[in-house]
């Protein structure tokens, strides 16, 4: 395998059990223990929280959304004001996506004719959902924009087909993603910015493995490899099956990042398969919709049974909502009254729980108790609302 090229970036595995592993990812802004969950800050902000509050959940990497930030306020302005680290006052590592998934979600996935995005062999041409202005996102432009955003980790532009796509469509997406990978690697980046390649292939394990090997062999090399194109419509059971077939076979010397996944149970399954890094909007979006995620499963705060419930969301949780003594009855009242305080408290809780989950997984792997931790966590989550 070709060694990664970025100065100031490293990855070292410290322990393993089965395919699960604990490691340390180093960037110019942070030392990140893995497995790690990375909250999504679409507009340079995790909705409702300050950067200090996000960091207090244990997160050491936050995501910025290239598509949204290139439209507003623009990468040049963000660069002028210190990149996303200075602009958002985020002192730890920052990862930015390439904008490709937004092209998929806006222009594909079975949407009606007249969509905002047109794909070509050179990238995506789209009109802004804000003002209709026309943009073109090529592999080179994705690197340029992310360089200005100041990310520790950039993602290559890729093609993400819907989960139910036939094999020929997936094969085309893989070929195009490889061509774009080579173009992205040839682009200049700011010093200290790593670049990850994205492995496509849907749930065709042979395509996934071949693509992972192809991307790992490119010179100059990617600093990490991500698995994209999961949780886009395929059955969850099939996703987990595919992960267990392929994840541990992706280059073991580089971090493995599973993009856009998922539930607490998904994280346990993926760590078991050999994944190191995760991101997903689920914990923050679900919090804003009144769903708390706990070690005992999901809790829907508007349910009538919580009207007089004095307990916190999770009696074992140390987040500001639970440790602060805010009762389910109070949170239910705030939610039904439309008060924004409950959205903040539940967002803090969900992100804190994700941080606890991956932190506990790391400790268990190092202690040689991963299987016990995995099985006990699954059993508790299966209890449902309590």
pLDDT at 279 (0 to 100): 98
pLDDT at 116 (0 to 100): 60
Is pLDDT at 109 greater than 90 in this prediction? no
Smallest CA-to-CA distance from 100 within 117, 86, 87 is with 117
pLDDT at 118 (0 to 100): 72
- Residue count of the chain, please give it: 386
Is pLDDT at 115 greater than 70 in this prediction? no
Q: Which candidate in 152, 251, 276, 279 is catalytic?
A: 279
pLDDT at 102 (0 to 100): 76
Is pLDDT at 104 greater than 90 in this prediction? no
pLDDT at 4 (0 to 100): 54
In the chain, residues under CATH classification 3.20.20.105 are: 37-280
Phi and psi torsions of 275, nearest 5°: -85, 145
Is pLDDT at 229 greater than 70 in this prediction? yes
Tell me if residue 206 is catalytic.
Answer: no
CA distance 287 to 350: 7
| 37-280 maps to CATH 3.40.50.300 | no
**Segment 270-280, tens digit of pLDDT:** 999 999 999 99
Q: Which candidate in 79, 97, 251, 276 is catalytic?
A: 97
By DSSP bridging, strand 20-27 and strand 30-34 are antiparallel
CA distance 56 to 206: 41
Average pLDDT over the chain reads 94
- Edge-first strand order for the sheet with 117-120 is 117-120, 123-127, 134-137
Tell me if residue 223 is catalytic.
Answer: no
Q: Identify whether the C-beta of residue 151 lies closer than 8 Å to the C-beta of residue 94.
A: yes
How many percent of the chain have pLDDT more than 90? 87
- When pLDDT is averaged across residues 207-224 and rounded to a whole number, the result is 97
Is pLDDT at 17 greater than 80 in this prediction? yes
Confidence of residue 231 (pLDDT cuts 50, 70, 90): very high
Residues 112-149 as b/e (b if ≥16 CB within 10 A, e otherwise) read: eeeebbebeebbbbbeeeeeeeebebbbbbbbbbbbbb
- When pLDDT is averaged across residues 199-220 and rounded to a whole number, the result is 97
Is pLDDT at 33 greater than 50 in this prediction? yes
Is pLDDT at 1 greater than 60 in this prediction? no
Beta bridge mates, 41: 64
């Amino acid at each position: 395998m070709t060694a990664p090229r970025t100065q100031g970036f490293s990855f070292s595995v410290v322990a393993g059990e089965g395919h699960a592993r604990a490691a340390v990812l180093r960037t110019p802004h942070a030392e990140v223990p893995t497995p790690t969950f990375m909250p999504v800050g679409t507009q340079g902000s995790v909705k409702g929280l300050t950067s200090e509050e996000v960091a207090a959940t244990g997160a050491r990497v936050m995501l910025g959304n290239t598509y949204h930030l290139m439209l507003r306020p623009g990468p040049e302005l963000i660069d002028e004001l210190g990149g996303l680290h200075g602009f958002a006052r985020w002192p730890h590592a920052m990862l930015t996506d390439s904008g490709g998934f937004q092209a998929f979600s806006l222009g594909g996935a079975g949407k009606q004719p007249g969509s905002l995005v047109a794909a070509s062999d050179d990238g995506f041409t789209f009109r802004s959902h804000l003002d209709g202005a026309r943009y073109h996102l090529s592999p080179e432009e994705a690197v340029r924009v992310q360089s200005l955003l100041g990310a520790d980790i950039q993602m290559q532009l890729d093609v993400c087909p819907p989960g139910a796509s036939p094999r020929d469509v997936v094969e085309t997406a893989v070929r195009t993603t490889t061509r774009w990978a080579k173009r992205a690697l040839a682009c200049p980046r700011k010093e200290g910015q790593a670049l990850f390649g994205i492995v496509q292939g849907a749930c065709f394990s042979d395509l996934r493995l071949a693509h992972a090997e192809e991307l790992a062999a490119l010179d100059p090399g990617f600093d990490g490899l991500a698995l994209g194109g999961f949780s886009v419509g395929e059955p969850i059971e099939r996703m987990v099956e595919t992960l267990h077939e392929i994840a541990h076979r992706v280059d073991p010397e580089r971090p493995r990042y599973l993009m856009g996944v998922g539930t607490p149970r998904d994280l346990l399954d993926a760590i078991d398969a050999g994944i190191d890094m995760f991101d997903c909007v689920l914990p923050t979006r679900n919090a804003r919709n009144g769903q708390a995620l706990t070690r005992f499963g999901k809790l829907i705060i508007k349910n009538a049974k919580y009207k007089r419930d004095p307990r916190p969301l999770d009696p074992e949780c140390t987040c500001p909502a639970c440790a602060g003594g805010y009762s389910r009855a109070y949170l239910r009242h705030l939610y039904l009254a439309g008060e924004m305080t409950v959205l903040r408290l539940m967002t803090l809780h969900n992100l804190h729980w994700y941080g606890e989950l991956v932190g506990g997984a790391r400790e268990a792997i190092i202690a040689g108790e991963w299987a016990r931790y995995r099985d006990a966590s699954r059993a508790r989550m299966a209890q449902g609302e309590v």
